[in-house]
Amino acid sequence: MKIRTRLTILFTLITATILLVFAAIILISAKENREKEFYTLLKKEAITKANLFFNAKVNKKILQDIYRNNRTTLNEVEVAIYTTSFQLLYHDAVDIDVVKETKPMIDKIIQKNEIQFYQNDWQVIGITYKFQGKEYIVTAAAYDGSGYIKFHNLLETCIIVFIISILFLYIAGRFFSKKAFEPIVKMTSKAKNISATNLDLRLDTNESKDEVSELATTFNKMLNRLENSFDSQKQFVSNISHELRTPLSAIITELELSTNKERNNEEYKVAILNTLQDAKKLAKLSNGLLDFAKANYDPSEIAFKQVRVDEILLDARQQVQKSNSNYNISIHFENDFEDDNQITINGNEYLLKVAFVNLFENGCKFSENNQSKVVVSLKKEEIILQFIDNGIGILEEDLKHIFKPFYRGLNKIYADGNGIGLSLTQKIIMLHKGTISVSSDKKSGTIFTVELYHGIKNTID
Ligand code: ADP
């Protein structure tokens, strides 16, 4: 069931219940008022007739005639007067006699002074009446015809008004819910048109700052993020294909040249070495991309354990120097550590090594002397690693871009690369809740500062 229909029914039901309670209160109070007023009238009639009988000494026959005459046109009150010993002194009409008085009834009236009750639809009242020091019992009974008619008219009016109100409320509810949901319906039909191919479409918003407009703004913000992420994904894929195409084209050209005519051994050797170099570039790129994918995993899927940063630095140095024998890397400790905890963090050994290898390699390849050093400072809360080189430095305008995937600075002509090393390194450091920053100077070289914290516990051992 649509929310609109559900809301309309709920609104109608709630209002109908309120109306019903309201009508019930009015009807109950009308019923009680009628009953009370009629008992009061009966009492007055009983006293008046007793006055006529005792004080004015009106003849019994006249009183009975008046009763019989009135009875044809009015709901005349039938009165009977008894002595306390249940002796009948006067009765309006013994032959009609609606109230069958009994001795216990008379005793009850004497005891309570006044009683009220129903006999079928007739209301009856019994009271004591004093005349010349003697007590008498007067009963009066009548049917409140006009009162009942009035009450039934009121009941009918209430039922008709109630049914009309429900119909009106349902129609009004449908109208208002339609009005209220109009912007959402519009929004839904517009949102249906948004797909991966036209992510630039946006929902309409207005100045009113209402809930629907807020929802549209939030949705548009989400679309902005999606569009950005889609664009960067597209950019990423096109960068990858470009990076793959360059060494592949080089390999193809090299192999075609060496096969289109007979070559001597030396020429073949050169061709093989060139091809090998390009194949190595490809392997490096695919390894880098694989690591990039790993660093982009959900952190809870990456295995973390207590690792020694000094050991990872040594492994990284060994790996870099093994593949580049002319590279020179040194590790310095600014302060000694008393226990292993000072050099230990909760991290992923493999990924940290990838990050350190990238920083070492960059330091060496962008320096004339192919030298890089790391200075380790052990603090209470964190370990600070400064990867320092005295190389060519990074241009001011490149500094804010170097952590973007596939970005290569203007100094790229100086050394080979694919531009994913630093973005991967930053990802890894962030995954460890650490920070990485850079400062560079054309004359003195570059310093990458990495801070890793001991107490990070939000990862899985
Ligand atoms: P790559 O080294 O493959 O080009 P990186 O992502 O590792 O890619 O680095 C991005 C860019 O940052 C490099 O192209 C280079 O311009 C600059 N860069 C990084 N490290 C250094 C460094 N130590 N000295 C000078 N430039 C650097």
- Average pLDDT, 10 consecutive residues per value, the chain (461 residues): 86 93 96 96 94 92 88 82 93 83 93 93 94 94 93 96 94 90 88 85 81 88 89 83 88 91 90 93 87 77 89 96 94 88 92 95 96 95 96 94 93 90 93 95 92 70 39
Judgement on whether residues 411 and 274 belong to the same structural domain of the protein: no
| DSSP string computed for 368-391 | TT-EEEEEEEE-SSEEEEEEEE-S
Q: Is 61 a domain residue?
A: yes
Q: Is 187 a domain residue?
A: no
Judgement on whether residues 416 and 452 belong to the same structural domain of the protein: yes
Coil vs helix vs strand at 9: helix
Judgement on whether residues 254 and 386 belong to the same structural domain of the protein: no
**For residues 187 and 33, what is the distance between their CA atoms, to the nearest angstrom?**
57
Q: For Cα atoms 250, 253, 254, give the angle at the middle one, nearest 5 degrees.
A: 80
What CATH number does residue 408 fall under? 3.30.565.10
Judgement on whether residues 225 and 140 belong to the same structural domain of the protein: no
The H or E element that residue 159 is part of is helix 145-192
Q: Is 66 a domain residue?
A: yes
**For residues 43 and 74, what is the distance between their CA atoms, to the nearest angstrom?**
17
Judgement on whether residues 139 and 263 belong to the same structural domain of the protein: no
Residue with CA nearest ligand 1 atom 3: 417
| Residue 390 CA, ligand 1 centroid: distance in Å | 14
Determine whether the shortest distance from the Cβ of 362 to ligand 1 is under 6 A.
Answer: yes
What CATH number does residue 226 fall under? 1.10.287
**For residues 135 and 151, what is the distance between their CA atoms, to the nearest angstrom?**
37
Q: Which domain holds residue 59?
A: 3-149
pLDDT of residue 456: 63
Q: Domain ends where: 250, 275, 296?
A: 296
Judgement on whether residues 305 and 453 belong to the same structural domain of the protein: yes
Determine whether the shortest distance from the Cβ of 394 to ligand 1 is under 6 A.
Answer: yes
Q: Please name the residues in contact with 361: beta carbons below 8 A apart, sequence gap of 6 or more.
A: 320, 324, 327, 421
| Residue 426 CA, ligand 1 centroid: distance in Å | 13
Token duo for residue 342: 């000072």
Work out the widest C-alpha separation in the chain, in whole angstroms.
160
Judgement on whether residues 303 and 275 belong to the same structural domain of the protein: no
Radius of gyration of the chain (CA): 52
- Other C-beta atoms lying within 10 Å of the C-beta of residue 249: 11
pLDDT of residue 455: 75
Q: Domain ends where: 262, 296, 330?
A: 296
Helix segments in 55-144, DSSP class H: 60-73, 103-112
Q: Please state the φ and ψ torsions of residue 308, each to the nearest 5 degrees.
A: -95, 120
Judgement on whether residues 337 and 392 belong to the same structural domain of the protein: yes
**For residues 67 and 77, what is the distance between their CA atoms, to the nearest angstrom?**
8
pLDDT of residue 460: 41
Judgement on whether residues 285 and 413 belong to the same structural domain of the protein: no
Determine whether the shortest distance from the Cβ of 412 to ligand 1 is under 6 A.
Answer: yes
| Residue 248 CA, ligand 1 centroid: distance in Å | 23
**For residues 276 and 271, what is the distance between their CA atoms, to the nearest angstrom?**
9
Q: Is 375 a domain residue?
A: yes
Q: Is 184 a domain residue?
A: no
State how many domains the chain has: 3
Describe the crossing of helices 421-431 and 349-365 by its angle, rounded to 10 degrees.
140
| Residue 228 CA, ligand 1 centroid: distance in Å | 25
10 to 16, 17, 23, 401: CA distances (angstroms): 10, 11, 20, 57
For ligand 1, mutation pick of 356, 359, 366 (most atoms within 8 Å of CB):
366
pLDDT, one tens digit per residue, over 352-403 is 999 999 999 999 999 999 999 999 999 988 999 999 999 999 999 999 999 9
Determine whether the shortest distance from the Cβ of 183 to ligand 1 is under 6 A.
Answer: no
| Residue 354 CA, ligand 1 centroid: distance in Å | 15
Token duo for residue 262: 């007979």
119 to 97, 116, 124, 173: CA distances (angstroms): 12, 10, 7, 48
422 to 137, 209, 419: CA distances (angstroms): 113, 43, 7
Determine whether the shortest distance from the Cβ of 358 to ligand 1 is under 6 A.
Answer: yes
Q: Domain ends where: 88, 114, 149?
A: 149
What CATH number does residue 86 fall under? 3.30.450.20
| Residue 360 CA, ligand 1 centroid: distance in Å | 11
Note the Cα 156 to chain centre separation in Å: 47
Q: Is 249 a domain residue?
A: yes
pLDDT of residue 457: 53
Judgement on whether residues 279 and 314 belong to the same structural domain of the protein: no
| Single-letter amino acid, residue 195 | S
Residue with CA nearest ligand 1 atom 20: 362
Which residue has tokens 């870099």?
Answer: 320
Nearest 10 degrees: Cα torsion 150, 156, 160, 165: 70
Give the atom of ligand 1 at the shortest distance from the alpha carbon of 448: 23
**For residues 50 and 150, what is the distance between their CA atoms, to the nearest angstrom?**
30
| Residue 418 CA, ligand 1 centroid: distance in Å | 9
Note the Cα 120 to chain centre separation in Å: 62
**Helices and strands in the chain: count of H runs, count of E runs:** 10, 12
**For residues 404 and 427, what is the distance between their CA atoms, to the nearest angstrom?**
10
Judgement on whether residues 441 and 308 belong to the same structural domain of the protein: yes
pLDDT of residue 461: 39
| Single-letter amino acid, residue 180 | A
Q: Is 175 a domain residue?
A: no
Judgement on whether residues 292 and 438 belong to the same structural domain of the protein: no
The β-bridge relationship of strands 78-83 and 435-441 is: unpaired
Determine whether the shortest distance from the Cβ of 367 to ligand 1 is under 6 A.
Answer: no
Q: Is 413 a domain residue?
A: yes
pLDDT of residue 339: 84
Is residue 333 within 8 A of residue 368, CB to CB? The reply is no
Range list of β-strands (E), 299-352: 305-308, 328-333, 344-347
The H or E element that residue 295 is part of is helix 265-295
Residue with CA nearest ligand 1 atom 21: 362
